[in-house]
Each structure stands twice: as C-alpha cells, then as structure tokens.
C-alpha cells in the first residue's frame, strides 16, 4: 500500500482544519463587507452604529483569527520539519497584515470569492457528516436539537417576513402608512409575491427537516451532530435567500416612490450576520474526530500503519534465502 509520509504537507485532519478556517475567514470577511455596504441606507443612527460595530468585529475575527489559524494549520499538516514550521509561523503572521495593508480584507471581490469558500465549506461539512453518522445517542437528544433549532429558524422566518413586508417599507417611505404604501404599489400593477413564497417554502422545509430528524433519531440513523449541523445550515440557507425574496418588492417600492439604495430596516443585515455565523459554526463543527473513534482506535491505527511500513521495508532489508539442495 502506498502511503504519504508523515511529514508531507497538506496531509490529514490538520490540512482539513486549515482549509476549514480559511473558508470561514473568507465567508465572514465577505459578509462583513456586504453588510457594510448597506449600513448607510439604514434609517436609524443607533442601528447604523450597532451594525458598524458588528461588521468590524466580524471582520477582525475573519482576518486576525481565522485567517492566520488556517494558514498555520494548512502549512503544518503532517509532521513538519522545523524549517516548514518556522515558515508557517511567518506566513500566519504576515497573512492578516498583508490582507489589511493591501485592502483585500475590505474588497467587494470577497463577496464573489465567498461563493467558492462556501462550496469548499459545504464539502467539509459533507465529509464530517459521513464520519459522524454512526454516533449512536439517545433519540431524545436528536429531538431536542431539532426542536430548538427548528424554533430558531421559525424565528428567522418571522423576522424576515416582518422585515420584508412591514418594517422595511415603512422605513423606506417614512411619510406614509403601510396601507398607503401597498395601495400605491397595487395601483402600479400588483405586488411582488417573493416574500410570501420564501416564507412558505422555508416553513415547509423547516417542518419537514424537523420531522425527518426526529424520526431518524428514533431509528438511530440521525445523530445529534448531524441534527445540529443540519439545523445550522438550515438557518444559514433561510437567511441567505431572504435578500433574493425581497429583491422584487424592493424594486417596486423604489420605482413607485422614486427611491434609491438598499434596505432601510436593519433586520435584513442582522439576519445576514446570523446566517454567516451559523455557516461558519457548521463548518468548524466538522473538525473534531468522529464520535465512534477513541484514543485506543487511533493508537491501533497508528500501529497498523507502522506495521505496514515495516513489512514494506522487509524485502529491501532481508535477502532471500535459497533452498538447500541435497547432494549424493
């Protein structure tokens, strides 16, 4: 069997952890940039200040925590020699400084790069879910997780629909009542149904996912780890599609009242921050060892690997012995 040497770069769980932290760094930094672009349009000065602080904290966590950790873990995968470890430390120190100095940490290009980072993050999540699928726990634990995260996602749906249909229209057109706003929109040819469709779809998915988790927990096919990961991803997906759901209605309001800019309510930006945090948490949850794997299992695996290495080395170290031939 061909095996990578223990000192090879980018090998094993160390490399996976580095890739996960780099994906999280890009996702959080991109969310900080995208939310930051909408802050000026928020009507309330108090909410603008709060969102500014939140995006700054998110950006700092991405650039000064997740980025150097990802670089260091990725470059020290395997069993690094001292020279590679020193280079990894230098790269981890230099990465955030270079990101801030070059302006990359605040570049809108991160929003596009975040799509690739999300794909890589979801690949890590899928790999982690397959490793934890034999983690047998009590069904009540899975049911409790499903209820808590399901209620959390229902709260996101409720806040989202109020943001799209009530709070944002009122904040964008402060001089009119809500009924007057919708009367004006209806007179121009109807009202976009995107928010309602988004809410109904998210509600159905939430109920279905919760039911599947509870049934799977009773049958032993769904573990608490899988339930938590799935719930976090569901909250991320719900908040992610919120912007798409309200895009049509936002355009109708802008055309009807001669407005420009994005949301005037802060709720959409807050839910975007929550969704990015949930995706980051789901990715980082996959870095722990499989629940079924114990220290004894790891030791046995290492012993087997070392034994394979020794057996592979025997033919080159021991000369074959020729059979004795009887002579008369």
Question: What gap in Å lies between CA 253 and CA 232, rounded to an integer?
Answer: 32
Per-residue pLDDT reduced to its tens digit, 37-90? 999 989 899 999 999 999 999 999 999 999 999 999 999 988 888 999 999 999
User: Maximum CA pair distance of the chain?
Assistant: 119
Per-residue pLDDT reduced to its tens digit, 248-295? 999 999 988 888 767 899 999 999 999 999 999 999 999 977 655 444
Phi, psi angles (nearest 5°) of residue 143: -65, -40
Per-residue pLDDT reduced to its tens digit, 172-207? 999 899 999 999 998 888 788 899 999 999 999 999
Question: What gap in Å lies between CA 310 and CA 231, rounded to an integer?
Answer: 46
Tokens 């004894």 locate to: 296
DSSP annotation of 322: P
Looking at residue 261, its pLDDT comes to 66
Question: What gap in Å lies between CA 67 and CA 32, rounded to an integer?
Answer: 14
Question: What gap in Å lies between CA 149 and CA 206, rounded to an integer?
Answer: 9
Confidence band for 312, pLDDT divided at 50, 70 and 90: very low
Question: What gap in Å lies between CA 156 and CA 144, rounded to an integer?
Answer: 19
Looking at residue 2, its pLDDT comes to 43
Q: What is the mean pLDDT of residues 120-137?
A: 80
The token pair at 9 is 């770069």
pTM assigned to the model: 0.83
Residues comprising the chain, all counted: 328
Q: Which residues contact 323 (CB under 8 A, 6 or more apart)?
A: none
Question: What gap in Å lies between CA 91 and CA 69, rounded to an integer?
Answer: 10
The token pair at 106 is 């605040």
Q: Which residues contact 86 (CB under 8 A, 6 or more apart)?
A: none
Phi, psi angles (nearest 5°) of residue 187: -70, -20
Q: What percentage of the chain exceeds 70 in pLDDT? A: 82
Question: What gap in Å lies between CA 157 and CA 235, rounded to an integer?
Answer: 9
- Burial class of residue 121 in the structure, from the number of CB atoms within 10 Å of its CB (0-12 exposed, 13-18 middle, 19+ buried): buried
CA angle 202, 208, 211 (to 5 degrees): 140
Residue 256 and residue 171 in contact, taking contact as beta carbons nearer than 8 Å: no
């Amino acid at each position: 069997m061909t095996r990578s040497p223990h000192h090879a770069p980018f090998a094993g769980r160390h490399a996976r952890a580095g890739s996960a932290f780099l994906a999280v760094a890009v996702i959080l930094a991109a969310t900080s940039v995208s939310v930051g672009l909408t802050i000026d349009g928020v009507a309330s000065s108090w909410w603008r200040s709060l969102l500014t602080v939140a995006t700054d904290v998110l950006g700092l966590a991405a650039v000064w925590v997740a980025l150097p950790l990802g670089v260091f873990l990725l470059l020290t995968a395997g069993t690094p020699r001292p020279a590679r470890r020193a280079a990894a430390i230098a790269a981890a120190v230099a990465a955030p400084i270079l990101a801030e100095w070059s302006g990359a940490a605040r570049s809108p290009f991160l929003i596009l790069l975040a799509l690739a980072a999300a794909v890589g993050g979801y690949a890590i999540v899928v790999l982690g879910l397959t490793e934890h699928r034999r983690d047998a726990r009590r069904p009540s634990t899975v049911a409790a997780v499903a209820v808590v995260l399901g209620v959390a996602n229902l709260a996101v749906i409720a806040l989202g629909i109020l943001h799209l249909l009530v709070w944002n229209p009122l904040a964008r057109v402060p001089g009119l009542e809500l009924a007057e706003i919708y009367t004006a929109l209806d007179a121009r040819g109807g009202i976009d149904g995107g928010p309602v469709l988004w809410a109904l779809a998210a509600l159905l998915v939430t109920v279905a996912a919760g039911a599947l988790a509870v049934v799977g927990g009773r049958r032993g096919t769904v573990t608490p780890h899988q339930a938590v990961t799935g719930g976090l991803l569901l909250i991320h997906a719900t908040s992610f599609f919120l912007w798409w759901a309200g895009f049509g209605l936002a355009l109708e309001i802008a055309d009807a009242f001669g407005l420009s800019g994005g949301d005037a309510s802060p709720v959409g930006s807050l839910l975007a921050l929550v969704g990015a945090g949930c995706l980051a948490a789901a990715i980082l949850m996959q870095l722990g060892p499989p629940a079924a794997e114990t220290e004894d299992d790891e030791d046995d695996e290492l012993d087997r690997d070392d034994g394979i290495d020794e057996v592979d080395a025997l033919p080159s170290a021991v000369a074959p012995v020729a059979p004795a031939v009887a002579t008369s």
